[in-house]
């Protein structure tokens, strides 16, 4: 392994005190001292005509946010406005705005993202949905963050729920759920154009047009393209992993009456991603979704949703070599994979009497996966079709005015392990309308994926003595979690709100790697079993302070402790190191300011503790780091916005994550870009 990943950094780490000093001096310099300017006075408002009043945009002190204070789970919401103000350029970057999510950028186009730990190379315990469409890939049991994109301007919000969500969302919602929700086409009317470029994000352009087909049918179409620069190897040379991608899509909504609403939307993307090991991956895919919502009354509505999703990749797989690098075990080649998903989902929300609020639903999903194997990476069988049937019911019982009890379960049937149950029980105590205490016990499962069952790392050079280095486990079963959670949310006065969520998770049947028993040669092939178990615990703390109308401060701290071990009498080739790569402490601070003359200044700071990952059964380390970003924006008129954004400013380059061999480690460079937005 390279020296640079064991903590020997080329440059001096910046002491935390220096950063705080820097940030606070920045805040002091820009203190405008005339807070009233940014709020229109009543006198001015009263002079406006009705038409003018109707054309003023309001800060939505929305029902949604009020609801958030009373939500009985560890949910955080990133609004579209938060994303715009942050200067984030991808969904993965936008997710850094939630304090309860753990992110490490691997290279120019890959991120390791999870909640509450288990952030392995193919992090597999987080379920991600975009407008109700799951983007969790059953091939690699994870999310390809490099092909989940949207025109960020048109994202309404991202709900980030840490903790299990199996009852409502189903299998693989083990450690958390991310819901990316795009805006209604009614809210994206008119022309939007953005363009810009910089040192890492070399060029980007986005375009959207929204209109009305009639007074009840609205639509939008959009397209975007970007070109990102390489990351660098620890020696400072370019890693050839630049990234070019284009995406286009549409959304149409018809609110035919106050009772029936239809949504019809689709996206298509196509891109090329360089690999640090050489060559380029080609990805292409798209989806089409329709949803019908029918409202019976204030207290009862149903939604019926269907979608089709296809994603395809063609990726060069480098040759595999023996541990001492002397033999070529398998030559280089291409892995191609096409995955088709057909999904059907029905939900009904209604009230039963005064006490019960019930939601139930039925779902069916078919995934059809076709792999063309590379010499060094294969799946057997190459073509596989899987069915997933599910049903769930959850009842929220208002036992007393301020006390609710929530009970529910999902039942699923999958082709790997048969029936799975994901029940949860929650209590919610509204101490006042400004304070909520909640607790929950839940069970969640991660069902086997094709990696767990079907993967092969063939060694044709050694056949027939050794056919494969690693194969999937024929008997690999579901990983399970029992989670205990306790949380508290409060609005303290008019300026400060905060939340804390503590958890104790008990995992069982977690993935391990075993040696084959004799007569297998030298224990090969290795194969997957479920020989690990263990506990994790910690808490997520988040505090927001609206210091004055034009200045908001937000801070988050996370603690995560893990004890994952091999079950008594069992073995793991990786010594229980392979499933975790998680910093025990993380801290973030973000300042958002709306200054006079329509200037916005945003400063974000994050500190990530040292963490350990698996290097062929031996513990390796990624050093801790502090990073910061700044966005300065000016809106000369309502239609134009000009901004300059600096990202990862504190280090020339830094390591956030190391992918297992044969991928060499890469580092993320300091970057800056400029952007112009035009709204017509």
| Minimum distance from residue 597 beta carbon to another protein (Å) | 9
Q: E-strand spans in 468-550?
A: 468-471, 479-492, 496-514, 526-548
| Minimum distance from residue 132 beta carbon to another protein (Å) | 22
Q: If residue 178 lies in a helix (H) or strand (E), which one and from where to where?
A: strand 176-182
Q: Which residue has the tokens 């942050």?
A: 86
Nearer to another protein, 6 or 260 (CB): 260
Nearer to another protein, 302 or 623 (CB): 302
Sign of CA dihedral 78, 84, 88, 91: positive
| Minimum distance from residue 626 beta carbon to another protein (Å) | 32
- Tell me how far apart the alpha carbons of residues 41 and 549 are, in angstroms, rounded to a whole number: 13
| Minimum distance from residue 354 beta carbon to another protein (Å) | 10
| Minimum distance from residue 193 beta carbon to another protein (Å) | 18
| Minimum distance from residue 61 beta carbon to another protein (Å) | 5
| Minimum distance from residue 57 beta carbon to another protein (Å) | 5
| Minimum distance from residue 201 beta carbon to another protein (Å) | 27
Nearer to another protein, 156 or 238 (CB): 156
Nearer to another protein, 186 or 386 (CB): 186
Nearer to another protein, 12 or 354 (CB): 354
498 close to 545: Cβ distance less than 8 angstroms: no
Retrieve residue 275's tokens. 């690999």
220 close to 188: Cβ distance less than 8 angstroms: yes
Nearer to another protein, 638 or 661 (CB): 638
| Minimum distance from residue 542 beta carbon to another protein (Å) | 23
| Minimum distance from residue 42 beta carbon to another protein (Å) | 5
Q: Sort strands 526-548 and 468-471 into parallel, antiparallel or unpaired.
A: parallel
Nearer to another protein, 105 or 218 (CB): 218
Bond preceding residue 226 cis, omega within 30 of 0: no
* HSE value, Cβ hemisphere, 13 Å, CA-based, for 224: 26
- Tell me how far apart the alpha carbons of residues 338 and 310 are, in angstroms, rounded to a whole number: 7
- DSSP helix/strand/coil, 452: helix
The closest alpha carbon to 158, from 136, 175, 178, 140, belongs to 178
- Tell me how far apart the alpha carbons of residues 604 and 669 are, in angstroms, rounded to a whole number: 17
What are the residues binding another protein (CB under 8 A)?
38-40, 42, 45-46, 48, 50-62, 186-187, 189, 257-258, 298-299, 549, 594, 598, 635, 637-639
The residues pairing with 105 across neighbouring beta strands, listed in sequence order, are 111
- Tell me how far apart the alpha carbons of residues 521 and 523 are, in angstroms, rounded to a whole number: 5
Retrieve residue 578's tokens. 């392979």
Nearer to another protein, 187 or 272 (CB): 187
| Minimum distance from residue 643 beta carbon to another protein (Å) | 16
Nearer to another protein, 325 or 354 (CB): 354
Where are the alpha helices (H) located in 151-224, listed in sequence order?
166-169
433 close to 101: Cβ distance less than 8 angstroms: no
Nearer to another protein, 57 or 324 (CB): 57
Angle value at C-alpha 185, between 180 and 189, nearest 5 degrees: 125
**DSSP letter at 154?**
G
Nearer to another protein, 40 or 362 (CB): 40
Dihedral-angle region of residue 522 (phi above 0 means left; psi in -120 to 50 means alpha; beta otherwise)? left
- DSSP helix/strand/coil, 174: coil
**DSSP letter at 84?**
H
Q: How many residues does the chain have?
A: 680
Angle value at C-alpha 680, between 597 and 250, nearest 5 degrees: 125
Q: What is the DSSP string of 360-380?
A: EEEEEEEEEEEEE-BTTBEES
Nearer to another protein, 214 or 325 (CB): 214
| Minimum distance from residue 154 beta carbon to another protein (Å) | 13
| Minimum distance from residue 186 beta carbon to another protein (Å) | 6
Retrieve residue 407's tokens. 């009970």
255 close to 216: Cβ distance less than 8 angstroms: yes
**DSSP letter at 13?**
P
Nearer to another protein, 29 or 54 (CB): 54
| Minimum distance from residue 35 beta carbon to another protein (Å) | 12
Nearer to another protein, 598 or 616 (CB): 598
C-alpha 635: how far from its chain's center? 30
């Amino acid at each position: 392994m390279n020296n640079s990943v064991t903590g020997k950094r080329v440059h001096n780490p910046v002491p935390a005190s220096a950063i705080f000093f820097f940030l606070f001096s920045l805040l002091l310099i820009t203190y405008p001292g005339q807070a009233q300017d940014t709020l229109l006075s009543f006198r001015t408002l009263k002079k406006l005509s009705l038409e003018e009043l109707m054309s003023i945009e309001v800060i939505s002190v929305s029902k949604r946010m009020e609801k958030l204070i009373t939500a009985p789970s560890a949910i955080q919401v990133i609004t579209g406005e938060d994303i715009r103000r942050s200067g984030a350029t991808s969904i993965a970057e936008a997710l850094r705005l939630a304090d309860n999510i753990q992110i490490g950028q691997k290279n120019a186009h890959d991120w390791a993202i999870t909640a509450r730990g288990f952030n392995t190379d193919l992090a597999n315990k987080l379920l991600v949905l975009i407008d109700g469409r799951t983007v969790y890939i059953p091939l690699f049991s994870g999310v390809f963050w490099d092909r989940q994109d949207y025109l960020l301007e048109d994202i309404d919000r991202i709900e980030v729920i840490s903790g299990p969500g199996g009852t409502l969302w189903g299998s693989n919602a083990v450690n958390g759920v991310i819901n990316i929700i795009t805006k209604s086409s009614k809210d994206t009317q008119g022309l939007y154009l953005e363009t810009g470029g910089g040192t890492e994000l070399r060029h980007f352009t986005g375009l959207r047009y929204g209109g009305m087909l009639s007074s009840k049918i609205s639509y939008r179409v959009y397209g975007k393209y970007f070109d990102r620069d390489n990351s660098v190897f620890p020696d400072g040379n370019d890693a050839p992993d630049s990234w070019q991608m284009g995406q286009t899509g549409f959304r149409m909504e018809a609110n035919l009456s106050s009772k029936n609403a239809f949504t019809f939307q689709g996206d298509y993307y196509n891109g090329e991603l360089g690999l640090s090991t050489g060559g380029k991956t080609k990805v292409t895919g798209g989806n089409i979704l329709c949803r019908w919502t029918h409202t019976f009354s204030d207290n009862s509505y149903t939604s019926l949703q269907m979608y089709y999703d296809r994603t395809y990749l063609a990726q060069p797989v480098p040759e595999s070599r023996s541990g001492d690098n002397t033999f070529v075990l398998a030559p280089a080649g291409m892995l191609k994979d096409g995955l088709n998903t057909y999904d059907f989902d029905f939900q009904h929300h209604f009230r039963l009497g005064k006490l019960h609020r019930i939601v139930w639903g039925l779902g069916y999903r078919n995934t059809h996966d076709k792999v063309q194997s590379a010499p060094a990476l294969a799946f057997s069988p190459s073509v596989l079709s899987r069915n997933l049937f599910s049903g769930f019911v959850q009842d929220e019982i208002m036992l007393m005015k301020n006390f609710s009890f929530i009970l529910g379960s999902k039942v699923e049937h999958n082709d790997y392990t048969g029936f799975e149950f994901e029940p949860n029980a929650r209590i919610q105590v509204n101490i006042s309308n400004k304070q909520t205490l909640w607790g929950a016990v839940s069970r969640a499962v991660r069902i086997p994926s094709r990696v767990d069952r079907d993967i092969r790392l063939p060694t044709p050079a050694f056949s027939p003595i050794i056919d494969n280095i690693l194969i999937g486990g024929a008997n690999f079963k579901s990983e399970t979690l029992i989670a205990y959670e306790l949380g508290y949310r409060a609005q303290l006065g008019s300026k400060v709100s905060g939340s804390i969520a503590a958890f104790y998770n008990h995992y069982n049947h977690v993935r391990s790697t075993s040696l084959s028993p004799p007569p297998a040669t030298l224990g090969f092939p290795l194969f997957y079993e479920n020989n690990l178990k263990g506990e994790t615990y910690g808490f997520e703390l988040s505090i927001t302070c609206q210091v004055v109308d034009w200045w908001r401060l937000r801070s988050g701290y996370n603690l995560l402790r893990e004890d994952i071990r091999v079950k008594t009498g069992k073995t793991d080739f990786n010594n229980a190191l392979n499933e975790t790569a998680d910093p025990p402490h993380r801290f973030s601070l973000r300042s958002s300011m709306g200054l006079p003359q329509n200037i916005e200044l945003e400063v974000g700071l994050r500190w990530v503790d040292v963490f350990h990952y698996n290097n062929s059964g031996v513990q390796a380390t990624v050093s801790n780091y502090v990073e910061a970003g700044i966005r300065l924006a000016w809106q000369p008129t309502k239609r134009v916005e000009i901004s300059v954004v600096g990202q990862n400013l504190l280090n020339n380059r830094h390591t956030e994550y190391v992918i297992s061999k044969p991928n060499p480690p890469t580092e993320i460079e300091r970057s800056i870009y400029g952007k112009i937005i035009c709204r017509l």
